[in-house]
Structure 1
Amino acid sequence: MMEAIQAAIDTVEHECGVRVLYAAESGSRAWGFASPDSDYDVRFVYAHPRDWYVSVFEQRDVIERMLPGDLDVSGWDLRKALRLSSKCNLAFNEWFGSPIVYRQDEAFAADIRAVNEACFQPARALYHYLSMARGTYADYLGSEQVRIKKLFYFLRPILGCRWIEQARTQPPTRFAELVAAPWVSDEERGWIAAIEARKAVAKEGDLEGVPDWLRQWMVGGIEHFQRIGASLANRADVDPQVLDHVLRKWSKDAAA
């Protein structure tokens, strides 16, 4: 699969006349709890030569490829990526925390991580992850029997909320790092590890009951973060000149 991913990135660069500056895995494989049949979700940032950005009408700023072998390859143009970063786009932030990196210019990745950090908005980020947790609970975890995998689609964002509450920074992309945080108790780590062990041997559609104590923990987490979200101060908007500098720097010789 690695060869297929590298070939797909090379093809994008050749066919579109761009330079892929960063490409990484997104979704469940990056989070650390993929199923054996999970898709490969490759996300990337690319840049055109600078003249492409000097145009009366803006052009398409997304490249998408659905390839055989459950390979989903898609990316954002650098200008689009910077605009979204300026609004604290959490999906984009997670790309740059992915433990599975397929291609990167290290200096570029460092520049983007600095921008992402400067643009991080704790309250907005907390509400993003809270919405994910609340939606997963409402859609998949309200019944007596639930799919084990869906528990992790709740646990990851709710622990992301706790990270933001405590650290005021972007939560790690890897679920294991969220669980290892000092504000997660040994008791919580213990029962999370037990659920992970059951998931490792379960089939995709296997169901299990949710004990009352776990349901109370999930509902309590939702209520707590809904209550404190408004108290998290947002940072001031980033200087647009910082974003412009990154765009000019990395679009200058993008096709070289």
Structure 2
Amino acid sequence: MNIPPSISTIIWQQPYPFLFTIISGSHLYGFPSPDSDYDLRGVHILPVQEVIGLETGNETIEVSEVCEALEIDLVTHDVKKFFLMLLKKNGYVLEQLYSPLILTTSPEHEELKFIAKNCITRHHSYHYIGFAATQWKLFEKEQPHRVKPLLYVYRVLLTGIYLMQTGIIESNLIQLNQVFNLPYIPDLIVQKLSGLENSNLSDFNVNFHQKEYERLRYQLQEAYELSTLPEAPSAKAALHNLLVRLRVCVS
């Protein structure tokens, strides 16, 4: 994909070196509208003196800017905070780590991808069940109904099912639907791609999509029960060692 120059400018303006930066949001999920903003995510590395001293650096950096009519939101976490989130049932940070839309990378980024495979557990299903429920409630309460939260519902549920079945993070709804073959997904994506970010649905059947939401939620629960993924992460020692090396490198 073509990366607007203003994105690179914002990345290089940040005060700390990056382990990696990626594009998340609708661009990662496969359905950006023409006016979609760019959600940038990443991991920065605080130097030792900003970790052990009385004055510590920012564990989280958030930047929101509008550059040439382009809205850009950047959120990065320090490596320790990110590693601790990896050890929890947090599918969102896994999706960031394995995003194919990479802006900056490093050899340690690749190493972390390998280590983080041992952070994936059966219990990540709770993240996706909860996220889908939140998006469905948002979708239900809005009148008229918007296409974006409905696409998020399907994207989240399919990502969760696929993760439970394969142990692989796949965030792109177009790629996921090549596996699940839901016939209504392409039309919903076309509506999102051709309209504005907050476009309303056309030719919409609420009861049909509610039944599909419930069916896929049950399928995710069933995939969790049948999953052979581990009960708990086993990557803590490897993450610790990588964290120490990264701190030393930027001290």
TM-score scaled to structure 2, two decimals?
0.84
Q: Cα–Cα, structure 1 residues 98 and 164, in superposed 2: closer, same or farther, change >3 Å?
A: closer
Give the distance between the partners of 1:145 and 1:66, measured in 2 at CA.
28
Say which SS state the counterpart of residue 68 (structure 1) adopts.
strand
Structure 2: segments with no counterpart, 5+ residues: none
Question: What is the percentage of aligned positions where both structures have the same residue?
Answer: 20
Q: Deviations over 1:192-243 (max 9, x none)?
A: 1233233333453323322644432222222343466456564334253311
Equivalence map 1:1-256=2 (5 Å): 2-13=4-15, 18-55=16-53, 59-69=57-67, 70-105=71-106, 107-123=107-123, 125-141=124-140, 146-167=145-166, 169-181=167-179, 184-185=180-181, 188=182, 190-203=183-196, 204-208=198-202, 209-210=204-205, 212-226=207-221, 229=224, 232=227, 234-254=230-250
Question: Contact 2:21/2:43 (CA < 8 Å) preserved in 1?
Answer: yes
The count of aligned residue pairs is 243
Amino acid in the other structure paired with 1:135: T
Shift of 1:84: 1.1
TM-score scaled to structure 1, two decimals?
0.83
Shift of 1:61: 0.9
Question: Contact 1:24/1:43 (CA < 8 Å) preserved in 2?
Answer: yes
Question: Contact 1:45/1:77 (CA < 8 Å) preserved in 2?
Answer: yes
Structure 1: segments with no counterpart, 5+ residues: none
Shift of 1:145: 5.6
- Across the aligned residues of Structure 1 and Structure 2, the Cα RMSD in angstroms comes to 2.6
Q: Deviations over 1:108-134 (max 9, x none)?
A: 1112112321111222x1111111212
Q: Cα–Cα, structure 1 residues 35 and 202, in superposed 2: closer, same or farther, change >3 Å?
A: closer
Amino acid in the other structure paired with 1:163: Y
Question: Contact 1:88/1:116 (CA < 8 Å) preserved in 2?
Answer: no
Say which SS state the counterpart of residue 43 (structure 1) adopts.
strand
Give the distance between the partners of 1:197 and 1:11, measured in 2 at CA.
35
